[in-house]
Amino acid sequence: MVKSVDLPLRVHEDLVKVSQELSLMAKKPISPSMAVDMLIEIYRAHLGNPCALDSFSQQLRSLNIMTPEEFDKYWDEPATTSEVKRKEKTKKQ
């Protein structure tokens, strides 16, 4: 059964680029959905190593990760709006 996922435009563009890069490596067409599947498999294989899992977990805990709502808002805003907000914050400080 196929399910749809809404991706921010920037994430979708990155995914298309990754699928194109994988297509070049494989010398076969790789769709974006195939690329997602491959990336998940790579993620699982990498984190199958206990040392890698521990290191990755520590890195995730130390990151200042946005909430899902903040992430969606950040990626959906046009670049010019984000730049203006950053400039305003810099001037206020």
Residue 16 included in any domain: yes
Half-sphere exposure of 61 (CA within 13 A, CB side): 6
Cβ neighbours of residue 30 under 8 Å, at least 6 residues apart?
A: 19, 20, 22, 23, 38
Instruction: Name, in order, each residue with C-beta under 8 angstroms of 35's C-beta and a sequence gap of 6 or more.
Output: 15, 18, 19, 22
Does residue 88 lie within any of the structural domains?
Answer: yes
4 lies in some domain? no
Predicted TM-score (pTM) above 0.75: no
Q: Which domain holds residue 21?
A: 9-92
Identify whether 84 is part of a domain.
Answer: yes
For residue 28, pLDDT over 60 is answered with yes
Confidence of residue 80 (pLDDT cuts 50, 70, 90): low
Q: Residue 69's pLDDT is what?
A: 86
* Count of domains forming the chain: 1
> Is residue 2 situated within a structural domain?
no
Going by pLDDT thresholds of 50, 70 and 90, the confidence category of residue 9 is confident
1 domain residue, yes or no: no
